[in-house]
């Protein structure tokens, strides 16, 4: 084995679309404010009968199909999510059963919007330990189910979706060349959901006090997102001996167009070197990178031999980057 590579990708988003005009009817906001400050025009929203696992199952099937791998061949299913169907069992176990991935161990991973990147690095390490392994990594989220629809500072930002990738060992000059993961738990209270866990178990009081929704100090999070995604990108390139002028495509976490543009500018990535789909999906947290990756592959934006950088930042704080020779 030479490298661990992505063998196939897939994504799935719920059908229903919520536009900025729809949000204007719910909170005091405007299409102009949302577009200028975040770059978002619309987002997909799951209905009450569609839990996160449903999105994962469809995205997972599509990734398996594009990899040409059967569910029974999978050794692990890893799902990065902060909006699992329930506290337990893990969403990964629900997906394992639905896909019929009988041989796969399955678990969820909590790293906020960096969940998919953490999952890729974990899968890479598991495959280095045993190169026969095939692993399905999914980033999936239904943030609209933990959104405070009276808070205009957050409710205009989020959307639902899932993206997936199948990883395995290859004997070729392609695959993951460099990775970097980071975290800083000191800043956790800038982006969190306080209720529903062992600290504040669900009660009438926690519901009345709105503890079961996302709390974010957006303008305080912003500079950390830029700084840490840049740091992660530089470190991943450094570990692979690659320089920024060699990058073909940058796929950053889609949280805010201004964050994306700030990173692109510092990495000298012009329009042709950066993938942006935030206008269609909003911030889908752990799903944003695998959705964008799958779209980029299917649109022909990524060609064999290209150097692709995936980079994310999220709650925790957590951040990370994965550099891939496609
Ligand atoms: O996913 C990973 C982690 N998350 C992020 O990386 C998100 C990082 N943060 C952001 O993307 C941006 O901070 C936001 C998009 C959340 C907010 O943009 P901002 O430019 O930082 O705005 P702000 O929070 O500083 O608010 C500026 C003004 C405030 O009014 P005043 O105090 O200046 O009168 C807000 O009340 O905009 C107001 N505002 C709104 N106005 C209309 C906040 N939300 C809205 C809204 N519509 N939806």
Closest CA to 280 of 36, 44, 9, 16: 44
Please, how many CA atoms are within 13 Å of residue 135, restricted to the half-sphere of its CB? 30
- Secondary structure letter of residue 223 according to DSSP: H
Query: Are the C-beta atoms of 218 and 151 separated by less than 8 Å?
Result: no
Rounded to whole angstroms, the Cα distance separating 236 from 114 reads 15
Superfamily of domain 176-325: Thiolase/Chalcone synthase (3.40.47.10)
Is 113 marked active-site? yes
**Per-residue pLDDT at 1:** 81
Pocket test for ligand 1, best of 26, 36, 37 (most atoms within 8 A of CB): 37
- Give me the chain's average pLDDT, please: 98
* Residue range 148-160, pLDDT digits in tens: 999 999 999 999 9
Full-model pTM: 0.98
CATH number of 3-172: 3.40.47.10
**In the chain, where are the structural domains located?**
3-172, 176-325
Would you say the CATH fold of 176-325 matches that of 3-172? yes
| Confidence grade of residue 239 (pLDDT, cut at 50, 70, 90) | very high
Of 218, 257, 287, the residue with max ligand 1 atoms within 8 A of its CB, to mutate for a pocket test, comes to 218
Closest to 137 (Cα-Cα) out of 149, 147, 126: 126
| Residue 283 annotated in active site | yes
pLDDT of residue 71: 98
Q: For the segment 125-172, what is each residue's pLDDT rounded down to a tens digit?
A: 999 999 999 999 999 999 999 999 999 999 999 999 999 999 999 999
Q: What residue ranges line ligand 1, CB within 6 angstroms?
A: 29, 33-34, 37-38, 113, 152-153, 156, 191, 218-219, 221-222, 225, 255-256, 259, 283, 313-314
Q: Which residues contact 109 (CB under 8 A, 6 or more apart)?
A: 78, 79, 80, 81, 115, 118, 119, 122
d(Cα 137, Cα 81) in Å, to the nearest integer? 11
Are 59 and 11 spatial neighbours (Cβ–Cβ below 8 Å)? yes
Residue 185 has pLDDT above 90, yes or no: yes
pLDDT tens-digit map of 54-93: 999 999 999 999 999 999 999 999 999 999 999 999 999 9
pLDDT digit string (tens) for 291-316?
999 999 999 999 999 999 999 999 99
């Amino acid at each position: 084995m030479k490298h661990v590579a992505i063998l196939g990708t897939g994504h799935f988003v719920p059908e229903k679309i919520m536009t900025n005009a729809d949000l204007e009817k719910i909170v005091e906001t405007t299409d102009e404010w949302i577009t200028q400050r975040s770059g978002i025009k619309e987002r997909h929203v799951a209905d009450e009968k569609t839990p996160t696992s449903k999105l994962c199952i469809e995205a997972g099937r599509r990734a398996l199909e594009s990899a040409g791998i059967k569910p029974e061949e999978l050794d692990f299913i890893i799902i990065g999510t902060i909006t699992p169907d329930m506290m337990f069992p893990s969403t990964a176990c629900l997906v394992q059963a639905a896909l019929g991935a009988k041989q796969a161990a399955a678990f969820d991973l909590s790293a906020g919007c960096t969940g998919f990147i953490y999952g890729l690095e974990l899968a890479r390490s598991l495959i280095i330990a045993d190169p026969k392994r095939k692993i399905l990594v999914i980033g999936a989220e239904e943030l609209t189910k933990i959104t405070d629809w009276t808070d205009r500072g957050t409710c205009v930002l989020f959307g639902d979706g899932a993206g997936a990738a199948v990883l395995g060992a290859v004997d070729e000059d392609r695959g993951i060349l460099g990775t970097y993961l980071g975290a800083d738990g000191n800043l956790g209270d800038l982006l969190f959901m306080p209720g529903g866990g062992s600290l504040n178990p669900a009660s009438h009081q926690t519901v009345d006090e709105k503890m079961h929704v996302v709390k974010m100090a957006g303008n305080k999070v912003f500079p950390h997102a830029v700084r840490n995604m840049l740091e992660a990108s530089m470190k991943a390139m450094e570990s692979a001996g690659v320089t920024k002028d060699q990058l073909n495509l940058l796929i950053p976490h889609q949280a805010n167009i201004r964050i994306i543009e700030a990173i692109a500018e510092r990495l000298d990535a012009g329009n042709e070197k950066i993938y942006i789909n935030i206008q269609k999906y909003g911030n889908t947290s752990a799903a944003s990178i695998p959705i964008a990756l799958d779209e980029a592959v299917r649109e022909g934006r990524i060609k064999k031999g290209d150097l692709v950088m995936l980079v994310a930042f999220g709650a925790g704080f957590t951040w990370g980057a994965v550099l891939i020779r496609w």
